[in-house]
Every structure is written in C-alpha cells, then in structure tokens.
Amino acid sequence: MHVNDTLSLPNLQAVIAKFETMYDRRAPNECWPWKRALAWNGYGLFTMYGRQQVRAHRFAYVVYKGPLPPSRSGPRTAGYIVVRHKCHNPVCVNPNHLLAGTPKQNTADRLEAARFRIQGEDNRGAKLTTEQVKAIRLDTRHPLDIAPDYGISDETIRNIQGGRTWRSVRSPFAKQPKWLSGAEGAHNGRAKLTEADVLAIRKDPRKYPIIAAQYDVNRETIGNINRPETWEHLA
C-alpha cells in the first residue's frame, strides 16, 4: 500500500487516533518525536493494523497536509517523492517540519545535517539538557516512572542510562537501579512482553524493525532479547 492510499481507509479516523498516541505532541514549532518502533535508518515505523506498516513521518505528512504530489521526474506517481525533514530529525512527525521533495533533495538535506550536527543540548532537536541527562543517569527508579517526568519514552531513558546516547556528557551512573533488582520477565508488572513472546522473538528470522513493529517495541529491545541482555532467565 502506498501511503497516499491510507486516505481512503474506511477506518481512517481510528487509525489517526492510534497514530496520535505514538508521538510526543509539543508546541507547533518544536519537533514531535516518534516514541515507538524505528526502522534501520532511524525513521519511525507505524503499524496501522496487522502487519501493514508505513513510515511515521510519511503518514503524518499525508494525513495532516494531504497526498504526496506526483513525481516530476517520470511517469510514476508519488513513489518517487520523499518526505523531507526541515529539522533534520528523522523521528520527528510534526507536519510543520515536513515537506515533499525528491531523493536528490533529501540526500542534500542529510549532507547538510551531517555537516552541522551538534551534540548534546546544543542540538536543536534535543529535548533534554545536560543537567537532566546527569539526573537521569543517577535516577534509580524504573524507566517507565522516569520517562513521564521528562516527556520522553522509557527506551530513551534506557539508552541514556546504558551510555548509548549523550556520550558527550561525562557524569557518573547509578551502580544498581532499584528496578533491576525486582522480578524478572513476565513476573515484572511492567513487562510489555510475555515469555511466549520472547521465545517467539528469538526464533523469528525476520529483521529487527519488522519484529519490533509486530510487538510494538523498539528494535533495540529485540536486539537486547536476542543477545541476550534482557530476559536472561529464558536463555
């Protein structure tokens, strides 16, 4: 299904309502970050129903701004038109930051973003400050409890506490968050997956983004399960 075809879905309003629970809606001039599964290249993945997926920013463009225009480069239609980010933030779904363009223009955008990329809170796409990142690293509560305090996803909290993001900030980390000493796996009341889900994920030969979208988790969660860095008691 092409993303333009979503406008003719009989249950479009219900699909849009689901979509709007999956990103952080902020001020009109700010980025609206996607909080669910990501594709391999960092763009959001929206599962409309079943396994039918679209890129989150392309869906946002179509439902908030209208159909993608036809391509000027050939007889094919909107398949050759991409949705560009004026903010250079691939997880952003704010329609004010999106515009249609050609693959060549999109490549130019990426080169410009790489040339001027700034780390930490000086990055205009950053939602956190350096001091907030330091506080998160020392916070021993469960990521699901910390995330609402900052308006970000629990996966973002895990990445910060795991040292996978904000590497430019040098500060101490909590030695043993309290939530890690609690019940394991499905016995943890905050677990999003069941043990059967985890076992199925470990046997699933598909790519991580596809599996992640099916279970409504981040692709890094799938990687952690398969290594295994989480759900070790099932290894």
Instruction: Give the relative orientation of helices 143-150 and 154-161 as an angle to the nearest 10 degrees.
Output: 110
Among residues 93, 188, 196, 198, the alpha carbon closest in space to that of 143 is found at 188
Residue 74, pLDDT score = 44
Instruction: Give the relative orientation of helices 154-161 and 219-226 as an angle to the nearest 10 degrees.
Output: 50
Among residues 155, 158, 161, 162, the alpha carbon closest in space to that of 134 is found at 161
Indicate the average pLDDT of the chain.
78
pLDDT digits (tens, 9 = 90+) for 163-181: 777 877 777 877 655 555 4
Global pTM reads 0.49
CA pair distance 46, 87, nearest whole angstrom = 20
User: Is residue 109 pLDDT above 90, yes or no?
Assistant: no
Residues in contact with 2: Cβ distance below 8 Å, sequence separation at least 6, in sequence order: 78, 79
Of the candidate ranges 8-17, 54-63, 88-97, 120-129, the one whose mean pLDDT is the lowest: 120-129
**In the chain, helix, strand, coil percent, each to 5?**
45, 10, 45
pLDDT digits (tens, 9 = 90+) for 21-58: 999 998 888 889 988 888 877 788 898 876 678 899 99
pLDDT digits (tens, 9 = 90+) for 174-222: 765 555 544 445 445 456 778 888 888 998 888 888 888 888 788 878 8
What's the full length of the chain, in residues? 235
